[in-house]
A and B are shown apart, each in its own frame.
Chain A
Amino acid sequence: MTAFLVLIRRDLALSARQAADALVAVMFAVLVVVLFPFGVGPEADILSRVSAGVVWVAALLAALLSLDRLFQADHDDGSLEQLALGPLPLWALSLAKAAAHWLVTGLPLIVAAPILALMLQMPASGLSTLVLAMALGTPCFSLLGAIGAALVLGARRGGVLVAFLILPLTIPVLIFGAAATEAALTGQEAAPHLMLLGAFLLTSLALAPAAAAAGLRQALG
């Protein structure tokens, strides 16, 4: 457990030293959202109609942006093999790296989401559900992303490749997350969608670290 926390703390410290790297994800999400009114027009009813979906897509793209570095930096400078020799099994290593990724990108995105939603004229009645759904959905991005990041270690064009591999797998998160927000906005029950999102998170939590560990093992061997 100590090693697990020590690793998370190091990753957070490294991100803090390169604060620009950490903020770039949120800035990217803001930019995507700001671009949207230019594309579809500033009419409030159109924007509020698409607000839930746009915020989710922006968050997903922003979370993917930094994923290819998740293991790559440690792989390139030899840290990954040193980490593999430590007391943590590879799945715990993947879990720690995904947790650090979530703290650096997912958490700021959750904070930014209501602001982005307000910019898109989302009625206030949807905001609390949006934040709740984000809290369940963004960890899925980091967990699934860890699989992709482990698989592309040493590959050409790793960054684009991660997005290509992971985006299809995140479709359920997008569907349940946006549906929950949508339900809250139209006065329907959001709970079923949130429960499905939670189920997806639990499944990812159980399976993704193992899959990422398998990817790491083949990258180390």
Chain B
Amino acid sequence: MTGSLHRFANPARFQRLSQAALPWCTGGTIVAFAVGLYLSLIGSPPDYQQSETVRIMYVHVPAAWMALGAYTTMALASAIALIWRHRLADLIAQSSAPIGAGFTVIALATGMLWGQPMWGTFWVWDARLTSVLVLLFLYLGYIALINAFEDPERGARAGAILALVGWINVPIVKFSVDWWNTLHQPASISRFAKPALHPSIMTPLLVMAIAYMLLFATLLLLRVRTATIEHRLRTLAMARARG
């Protein structure tokens, strides 16, 4: 395990591999979004209850999934960085955070747009929306922490610990928010309808989910490549300062 990881840790090798993977990821993202958006906006029937507004779901639900997915990526990379002191894993964790925060913002914004026609108000303290809001705070806290140190190395270490603590907490927060929601909201208020898993809905949803995943991979590769180059520049500057 360590051996294979360290092969990827070699920055030159990573730059080469990511160089090769990047066009495929970019192309895949564009194709998947084209197909996904066609299926969800034009190629699928409107919902019998929510009519056309159901289409927001195809943007909202995968964004919420990826918000969690990016956090998990961040926590896994942090664990690897802490255990094996792995430079590339640090960069992956740090690069995931702003992308994940972006997905979280998309999930919140589309959730509010979806809530307007459903509940007549942009914000309700729905269990899922509230959990996603807490997730956004976890992301912002992580980003604030890694940028709060003069020494980026220190920021990376502190951030990795926080990411793991947050990751353990996400299910606990989710559970407690659900608990709180059932206490304060009688079941009569409609939540996000669990979509009946009809193929006409499932297909566009899955294609959109794949599109989001590819988008995440593309952005992550780009950010990690940039961060690797920045790191090398910093190392060179430090080496020069030492003479």
* Residues of A in contact with B (beta carbons under 8 Å apart): 147, 151-152, 154-158, 161, 164-165, 167-169, 171-172, 175-176, 179, 182, 196, 200, 203, 207, 211, 214-215, 218-219
Contact = CB atoms under 8 A, between A and B. Distances in A.
Given A154-B154, A171-B173, A175-B180, 14 more contacts: A147-B161, A147-B162, A151-B162, A154-B149, A165-B144, A165-B162, A168-B137, A168-B138, A168-B173, A169-B165, A179-B180, A207-B165, A214-B161, A215-B158
Contacts of B157: 218
Contacts of B145: 151-152, 155, 161, 165
Top 6 nearest A-B pairs (CB, nearest first) are: A172-B176, A155-B148, A218-B157, A168-B137, A175-B180, A165-B141
Interface in B147-205: 148-150, 154, 157-158, 161-162, 164-166, 168-169, 172-173, 175-177, 179-180, 183
Tell which of A157, A172, A179, A203 has the most Cβ of chain B within 10 Å.
A172
Contacts of A176: 176, 179
Nearest to A163: B141
Nearest to A212: B161
Interface residues of B, number: 29
B179 A196 contact: yes
Contact of B176 (A154, A164, A167, A171): A171
Interface of B: 82, 134, 137-138, 140-141, 144-145, 148-150, 154, 157-158, 161-162, 164-166, 168-169, 172-173, 175-177, 179-180, 183
20 contacts: A147-B161, A147-B165, A151-B158, A151-B162, A152-B145, A152-B148, A158-B148, A161-B144, A164-B137, A168-B137, A168-B138, A168-B166, A168-B169, A168-B173, A169-B173, A171-B177, A172-B169, A176-B176, A207-B165, A218-B161
Contacts of A207: 165, 168
B168 A175 contact: no
Contacts of B176: 171-172, 175-176, 196
A153 to B, nearest CB: 8
A157 B144 CA distance: 10
Contact of A164 (B144, B161, B173, B175): B144
A interface majority secondary structure? helix
Contact of A172 (B141, B161, B172): B172
Contact of B179 (A157, A167, A168, A179): A179
Contacts of A175: 176-177, 179-180
A184 to B, nearest CB: 13
Contacts of B165: 147, 169, 207, 211
A175 B176 CA distance: 7
Contacts of A179: 179-180, 183
B79 to A, nearest CB: 11
A215 B157 CA distance: 8
